[in-house]
Structure 1
Amino acid sequence: MNKLSLFFLFAFTTLFYSCGGPDITDDLLDGDVIFDPSLYNPEQFLVSAKYPVPTTDDLNKHIILVIHGYSATTFEWQEFKDWSNESTYRISQVLLDGHGRDYNSFKASKWEDWRSAITDEYEKLIALGYTKISMAGSSTGGTLILELVKSGYFNSHLHPKNLFLIDPIVVPSSKLQSITSIVGPMLVYVESDQSTQENKYWYRFRPYETINELNDVMKTVRKGLEDGMTLPTGTYLKAFHSLHDPVASTTSTVLIYKGLKTSTGNHIDVQLMDSDIHVFTRLSLRSNVSALQQANQLDAFNQITNKLN
């Protein structure tokens, strides 16, 4: 990129990025008031906390860890929890480290911190004696699941039964995101265009440091997919992706399909959804939800739970 192009790109980004410190109030997730209930009532979200001494019947149930995306909270999977009938399976809603707290906690977090919340709950469940565990990740939650595969984490831990990815982000739809490391220090943070209600469940202000972390974990996963990745023995994976995703380019799922194979060398399953929203399984607080969007959500929910046998 030449200097003139960089100048115009910088001028363009100033329309979307803010300079100086963000104006944070306590009605925002970014403020000092803790909104995410999993932080003060973990037993209502994490299976390991709710059933610290599981019975034989408990251990026979399938556990699915549901993992939210960048800047989000456990709210992103609450509709799935509310929809589910947990008679034969249970849902463990993981809050990524650095999320659901205040702006400075988010700013200081690394993507490895985000991932640690997943592995902490996974290993607690294994230690309690659970043997049927699956994961579902939306957006960056899916990216972190892929990184666990790429890093070989499951080589020394229980192999998950199923992995489900909802609009996983490996390549962003916005080309501006890739230059954050260049202009970020000057622009400090990105302010998200979201509703007042959503301000309690997603960070409104996204520090450039965390966008760099997101870029880093995407780069790590892309490199793994380019080199070729293999799922653990016995693990099933399906990726769902909105056809017109405004945040995670569908190129992400194309790369996943090309670069990730099952342990027997077969392709993974992929389904493109007729959708123009990111994380199509989260419809709560969205405006003008259509019958098609509701059908897409239900389709994914049913496919996920039907695999939990």
Structure 2
Amino acid sequence: MQIIPSTEPFFFQGNRTGILLIHGFTGTPKEMRYMGEDLHKHGFTVLGIRLAGHATQPDDMRASRWSDWTASVEDGFNLLSNSVDRIFLVGLSMGGALSLLMSTRLNVAGVIAISTPYSLPRDPYFPLWFIRLYGKLVKYMSKSNEEPGSSWFDKESYAKHISYPQNPITSIAELKLLLLEMQSALPKINKPVLLIHSKSDNYVLPENMEKIYSGLTNTSDKTKIYVTESGHVVTSDAERQRVFELSREFIRRVENQ
């Protein structure tokens, strides 16, 4: 198994507050690296993990299950725990769903979920059995009907972005299962949560953040914030510095509670 160059996991030693960064579906640790560098520059200890089946070749992802992705988060949490006193989970897209779900299983200080889906697009029309059957006939499908990169505001950053070019269909079934687990977990979350989403996200529509926010019925500390000058991958797009600033402010506030 060979990791795609420049997409390796990363670790930056800082203070006793740890930030576990979790990338998205078909993505790589690279899409969280700008954020990791920013957080470390401001003193935090940062670990950017690689989820099972990612940043190698698409067939590795087809062989992975959603429980492998949660295990990747747990492994990262345990590794980071050796260096810090408290840990925040920060995830992009599916990484946000993993962060929310795993906050009910791990002793975390807080959660930041960015560009996170509540459910798959047109979810009721595609039951699990259908996705699995279709996945036996066809391995991959396109990510979007849009021209690749057209929704990015920062074209230079898009040119450096690395992810699998298509979605493995069997992995979409696993994502659906993961999101169902996340939905069930939302009322159990009692830690501080920050949700960030771009109004210009055409891949995971902004209404997803509203549904997640409404599902967080057991935490008294939940915040939702919209940005505008970015597409889906806001951790790498034009408004990333705003996202980093919002995240740092949230972490500092929760630290001082």
TM-score of the alignment, normalized to the shorter chain, above 0.5? yes
- 1:304 and 1:188 map into 2 onto residues whose CA distance is 37
- 2:196 and 2:161 map into 1 onto residues whose CA distance is 27
- 1:254 and 1:308 map into 2 onto residues whose CA distance is 22
- 2:231 and 2:135 map into 1 onto residues whose CA distance is 26
Structure 1 200/254 Cα, relative in aligned 2: closer, same or farther at 3 Å?
A: closer
Which residue, out of 58, 61, 64, partners 1:106? Answer: 61
- 1:36 and 1:211 map into 2 onto residues whose CA distance is 25
Match of 1:46 in 2: 11
- Counterpart code for 1:220: E
Match of 1:3 in 2: none
SS in 2 for 1:171: coil
Match of 1:274 in 2: 228
Which residue, out of 124, 127, 137, partners 1:186? Answer: 137
Q: How many residues align?
A: 238
What is the CA deviation profile of residues 218-250 of structure 1, one whole-angstrom value per residue up to 9, with x for unaligned ones?
Answer: 12222344xx2332xxx3211011224222232
* Conserved 8 A contact 1:236-1:262: no
Unmatched 5+ stretches in structure 1: 1-31, 52-57, 284-293
Larger Rg: 1
Match of 1:237 in 2: 193
Match of 1:5 in 2: none
**1:145 correspondence with 2:99:** yes
Match of 2:162 in 1: 201
* Conserved 8 A contact 1:174-1:247: no
Unmatched 5+ stretches in structure 2: 150-157, 253-257
- 2:230 and 2:122 map into 1 onto residues whose CA distance is 15
What is the CA deviation profile of residues 116-146 of structure 1, one whole-angstrom value per residue up to 9, with x for unaligned ones?
Answer: 22111211222x2521211210000001112
Aligned-pair RMSD on alpha carbons?
2.8
**How far has the Cα of 1:38 moved from its partner?**
5.9
SS in 1 for 2:194: strand
- Counterpart code for 1:136: V
**How far has the Cα of 1:164 moved from its partner?**
0.6
Which residue, out of 247, 257, 264, partners 2:213? Answer: 257
Which residue, out of 17, 33, 44, partners 1:89? Answer: 44
